[in-house]
Structure 1
Amino acid sequence: MKNQLKAGVILSYISTGLNMLIQLFYTPVMIRLLGQSEYGLYTLVGSVVSYLSLFSLGFTGAYLRFYSQRKAKNDIDGIAQLNGMFLTLFLAMSVMAFLCGMVLVQFPRQLFGANLTESELSTAQILMAILVVNIALTFPSGLLDSIVSAREKFLFQRIVTLVGVLCNPLLALPLLLMGFGSVAVVSVTTFITILKLVVNVFYCLKILHIQFFFRGFDFHILKEIAEFSFFLFLNMIIDQINWSVDKFILGRVSGTSAVAVYGVGAQINSLVITFSTAISSVFAPRVNCIAAENSENRNQKFTELLTRVGRVQYLILMLILSGFVVFGKFFITDIYATQEYAQAYPVALLLVVPAFIPLIQNLGIEIQRSVNKHKIRSLVYFMMALLNVFISIPLAKKFGPIGSALGTAIGLIIANGIVMNIYYQKGIGMDMRYFWRSIVSLSKGMIIPTLFGCWIMRSITFDNYIFYLAMIILYSAIYGLSMWFLGMNNEEKALVIQPIQKLIRRGR
């Protein structure tokens, strides 16, 4: 199991790193082939259709908790009954999402407003229809992912993800070059979703021998699941508002070009989020095991685990964040996109920087769920989402994409940076002073990279790709050495040294 955990973490970062490399090469090509208007339309339609994922009602996040409870009691029949109940619910949700989505497809003008042309509305209908099918298929596929994750089969999961990441551009790019446009992109995405569902079904039934009992629907347990999931559902609504409503608002008040600019900044933010969840996601079963044991020092274990994982996330994310601050403007305007997308740089900064604190603490979300104390977080985030909407509408009208991002940033700082840390300390009982002392100690390693980064921004103008890449490598090397000598502890150094030692021994 320990090897599965290590392999899961390593493959998560390989997959995430590969995904980032693909975004570096594939997305710029896609943006240029589609053009700003169609890329904005593709982004806008995707953000609208994503609201259909709310039909899952938060039940996906509930499976792990209720499975862990039955596993702790070695209740095999109870687990099979739980599987059958969840599968029935998710298939029903899938059908409802599909039907609702197909109704929405008939009303593109009412959805997207008067700023879209007739041609754009026609394309939007096709994109929506394909994406509705895709979103409906993600319901059963997402449940099977949860089942595999609960059994800590991270190696299989990450390989499937890795293959999906590779297949997307390999299949979509030839179609884009042939002139099929954004329809080709969403068609390939849906095709990969279908393949992933088939593979998950085979693995769960034939390899893991997962059982599904559909008789004796336990409505008492269903009520428990519904009560637990309600606040997860509320949190899903909040996430949709925070990460999708800005695009919708911009589409209504500014049109597809503004959505395209915001979409590039949001894409950078989503890549950073993926890096943060790559490690924390594999620790979710362990969190639920600690919760199920309910020992006297449970909160101490939670604090230590949150701190250990948070420090590793900090090491990786701070390199990405600080590197983007220094090199991001040139990256967006000269590599990733064009000068037309210059505003995407401040948009990305406004989204990524305030999100840094919750990203190094995102294991805390699993901790809250495992002890059924996620309700307050959902309520806090709900208030933040409302604040985001009210602020973002006037800001978007006045400042465009930057205004929308600023509204989201204000909400993130208040809710994630301040309120949630108080709740972790007072409401759950973790020692957040210990967490932040450890993070501050690690931050000593940022002194030298910060000074070097400021010098680059003030003194250097990039005029060719080779020099630009060389400076990134130099900055990364200085960051790594500074963190090694000034920030990292022995455990973190061992995470780097041990794999190298194993490779050397194998080489001999």
Structure 2
Amino acid sequence: MSQLKKGAFLNYATIFLTNVVGILLTPFILSHIGASEYGIYLTIGALVGTISLLDFGLNNTIVRFVAKYRAQKDSKGEENFLAVTMRIFFVISAIIVILGVLFYTFFIDSYFTKMNTEEMKIAKTIFVILIFNLSISLPGAAFTGICYGYEAFVFPKTLNIIRYITRSLTVVAILTLGGKAIALVVIDTIFNVVIIITTLVFVFKKLKVKIKLHEFSFRFVKQIFSYSGWIFIFALVGIFQWSAGHWVLGRISVPEVLTIYGIGITLGSYYGAFSTAISGVFLPRATQMSVANATGEELTTMMIKIARLSFIVLMFIFGGFLLFGLQFVNLWVGTELGEEGSYQSWVIALMIMAAYTLPLVQGFGNSILEAKSKLAFKAILYLSFMILGTILGAYLARDYGAIGMMSGSIIGWMIVQNVMNFYYHNTIGLNMIRFFKELVHKIIIVVFICFSLGYFINTWVPGEGWLNFIQKGALYTLIYSILTYFVGINAFEKQLFKDAFKPVLKRFKKT
């Protein structure tokens, strides 16, 4: 198996592991450190994470330029590029430390107005550790980028899986012994240092990479940043999508509200990961079609194929969460959040899922835009409305708390996606009318029937415990699977399903 195929497999394994362990670990952490400290931990993490934007997309740039120099067999150019990039990273690290010192000295006390003295002390300690962590993470991540540029995917991805498992076990052990939120960031920092050193040794010893400055030119620096600029813009969009709410609520709300908001965000992000794992398999082929100047109708057909596969899975998750999600959240973290907190987290997660569905099923659109060099419009549009959504959310949050904050962001998302559909149709040449017709064809019938039956399942299988939840979920899954296979999917999708299970069926027949 090639490095590329192994890397893809490890990527999906990481997604699965991250979601499953995250679901198991979150209530454990919450019960041991409490809603207040968990909210502080999430908020300071989001705040410091914002500073990571100073990366300016350089890690993605490293992958591209290293691959380019290797293809050209230009070892001198590669050495010089890496030397210049490392110097840029060191400057960025110095700026991060300076910004951290300034915020800690002049702003942190006045910013978090709803924290008491003990909570502020915890927040300050976490902030200092995370600033140090970030200052070494950005240049350290460059070595992972070098691995990808060399198409050595297996080592860093395997290392990341090992890190995630051992980190999770360490967290359980430390919290069981009485550790709190500060212990979590110390653990993450230690693991980060170990990973950076291990990857560095691999890059220099195994890949034989050399870093040497032959010539420093500001024109060369400008060329590097001209490529990473749009990557930076999309990273900024991501910050406003997922982190801006923490800034706002950290200013006006008590830490417990931040925990409610963070739990909703966490559940919403898991939703997106399932779709990405499916659509990612088809995106390389779709990008090749774009480069080969496929017609608008051909691109639309491929977009529909990818979108329907994601849509089938997403509607299963969304419908199940709508029907049984509140019970799940109550069982999952209800002890710490309380009934009202669990309800708000469930509503926030539902809002994210509802608004996130269309962007997820249209993920192929990004590949088309990139192939046609049309990303600028989407980047500027997204950034503009994410900022406006954050401002609206901040206004609504004063009266409606975490749900108000998310409402503003969701409105921004929905406006952007509607505009993008007109852009895809009128400028890119995709047939969006046909897209929507074929996207929901037959599947919408399955969704309606399953939701109706799911409503009665809640009545037929009354109860509140985990066993009751599993029984309802299993019955819903069985109904959805049967109806989808016999009613919802077309011949192409049915064949994909059969091909996926062929190896299993062969082994079953042999036994």
TM-score, normalised via structure 1 length: 0.87
Which range is displaced more, 475-484 or 28-37? Answer: 475-484
Q: CA deviation at 1:472?
A: 0.9
Counterpart residue number, 2:274: 275
Counterpart residue number, 2:423: 423
Are the counterparts in 2 of residues 24 and 336 from structure 1 also a CA contact under 8 Å? no
Counterpart residue number, 1:331: 328
Q: CA deviation at 1:399?
A: 0.8
Are the counterparts in 1 of residues 133 and 192 from structure 2 also a CA contact under 8 Å? yes
| Residue 278 of structure 2 corresponds to residue 242 of structure 1 | no
Counterpart residue number, 1:472: 473
SS in 2 for 1:337: helix
Q: CA deviation at 1:447?
A: 3.9
| Residue 385 of structure 2 corresponds to residue 388 of structure 1 | no
CA distance in 2, matches of 1:4, 1:304: 30
Q: CA deviation at 1:122?
A: 0.8
Q: CA deviation at 1:269?
A: 1.5
Q: CA deviation at 1:263?
A: 1.1
* CA shift digits 1:202-249 (9 cap, x unpaired): 443444444545323464453233234333323322321232121221
Q: Judging changes above 3 Å, is the alpha-carbon distance between structure 1 residues 239 and 80 closer, same or farther for their aligned structure 2 residues? A: same
SS in 1 for 2:489: coil
Q: CA deviation at 1:276?
A: 3.5
Which range is displaced more, 14-23 or 328-337? Answer: 14-23
Are the counterparts in 2 of residues 45 and 127 from structure 1 also a CA contact under 8 Å? yes
For 1:60-459, list aligned pairs within 5 A: 60-64=59-63, 78-79=77-78, 81-107=80-106, 109-110=108-109, 112-150=111-149, 152-210=151-209, 212=211, 214-217=213-216, 219-279=218-278, 294-297=291-294, 306-338=303-335, 339-340=338-339, 341-342=341-342, 343-416=344-417, 418-433=418-433, 435-441=435-441, 443-444=443-444, 445-457=446-458
Give the length in aligned residue pairs.
504
Equivalent AA in structure 1 for residue 399 of structure 2: K
Q: CA deviation at 1:185?
A: 1.2
Q: Judging changes above 3 Å, is the alpha-carbon distance between structure 1 residues 197 and 115 closer, same or farther for their aligned structure 2 residues? A: same
* CA shift digits 1:187-207 (9 cap, x unpaired): 222222223323333443444
Equivalent AA in structure 2 for residue 295 of structure 1: A
CA distance in 2, matches of 1:29, 1:505: 41
CA distance in 2, matches of 1:210, 1:305: 40
Q: CA deviation at 1:48?
A: 0.9
CA distance in 2, matches of 1:287, 1:206: 37
TM-score, normalised via structure 2 length: 0.86
Q: CA deviation at 1:46?
A: 1.1
Which range is displaced more, 340-349 or 84-93? Answer: 84-93
* CA shift digits 1:57-93 (9 cap, x unpaired): 2333444555666677676655555444444433432
Are the counterparts in 2 of residues 242 and 385 from structure 1 also a CA contact under 8 Å? yes
Of structures 1 and 2, the larger Rg is shown by: 2
Which range is displaced more, 191-200 or 208-217? Answer: 208-217
SS in 1 for 2:407: helix
Equivalent AA in structure 2 for residue 189 of structure 1: D
SS in 2 for 1:106: helix
Q: Judging changes above 3 Å, is the alpha-carbon distance between structure 1 residues 357 and 472 closer, same or farther for their aligned structure 2 residues? A: same
Q: CA deviation at 1:10?
A: 4.1
Q: Judging changes above 3 Å, is the alpha-carbon distance between structure 1 residues 230 and 300 closer, same or farther for their aligned structure 2 residues? A: farther
* CA shift digits 1:388-424 (9 cap, x unpaired): 12211221111111111111111111112x1222233
Q: CA deviation at 1:283?
A: 6.9
Q: CA deviation at 1:491?
A: 4.8
* CA shift digits 1:306-332 (9 cap, x unpaired): 544433333333322222112110111
Equivalent AA in structure 1 for residue 112 of structure 2: G
Counterpart residue number, 2:18: 19
SS in 1 for 2:131: helix
Q: CA deviation at 1:56?
A: 0.9
For structure 1, the 5+ residue unaligned runs are none
Q: CA deviation at 1:112?
A: 3.2
SS in 2 for 1:138: helix
Q: CA deviation at 1:160?
A: 3.0
SS in 2 for 1:400: helix
Q: CA deviation at 1:441?
A: 3.1
* CA shift digits 1:441-475 (9 cap, x unpaired): 37344343233233335665432211211211221
Q: Judging changes above 3 Å, is the alpha-carbon distance between structure 1 residues 13 and 128 closer, same or farther for their aligned structure 2 residues? A: same
CA distance in 1, matches of 2:296, 2:476: 38
* CA shift digits 1:32-53 (9 cap, x unpaired): 1111211111111111111111
CA distance in 1, matches of 2:39, 2:394: 19
Q: Judging changes above 3 Å, is the alpha-carbon distance between structure 1 residues 114 and 79 closer, same or farther for their aligned structure 2 residues? A: same
Counterpart residue number, 1:33: 32
Equivalent AA in structure 1 for residue 443 of structure 2: S
CA distance in 1, matches of 2:74, 2:96: 33
Counterpart residue number, 2:56: 57
Q: CA deviation at 1:130?
A: 1.4
Are the counterparts in 1 of residues 461 and 468 from structure 2 also a CA contact under 8 Å? no
CA distance in 2, matches of 1:506, 1:358: 39
Which range is displaced more, 132-141 or 210-219? Answer: 210-219
CA distance in 1, matches of 2:148, 2:494: 28
Equivalent AA in structure 2 for residue 455 of structure 1: F
CA distance in 1, matches of 2:65, 2:119: 45
CA distance in 2, matches of 1:400, 1:499: 45
CA distance in 1, matches of 2:135, 2:395: 34
Which range is displaced more, 403-412 or 7-16? Answer: 7-16
CA distance in 1, matches of 2:366, 2:471: 38
Are the counterparts in 2 of residues 90 and 140 from structure 1 also a CA contact under 8 Å? yes
Q: CA deviation at 1:116?
A: 0.8
Are the counterparts in 2 of residues 152 and 285 from structure 1 also a CA contact under 8 Å? no
Q: Judging changes above 3 Å, is the alpha-carbon distance between structure 1 residues 98 and 436 closer, same or farther for their aligned structure 2 residues? A: farther
CA distance in 2, matches of 1:450, 1:44: 36
Equivalent AA in structure 1 for residue 34 of structure 2: G
Which range is displaced more, 94-103 or 261-270? Answer: 94-103
CA distance in 1, matches of 2:369, 2:412: 20
CA distance in 2, matches of 1:158, 1:420: 34
Counterpart residue number, 2:483: 482
Are the counterparts in 2 of residues 232 and 378 from structure 1 also a CA contact under 8 Å? no
Identity of aligned residues (%): 26
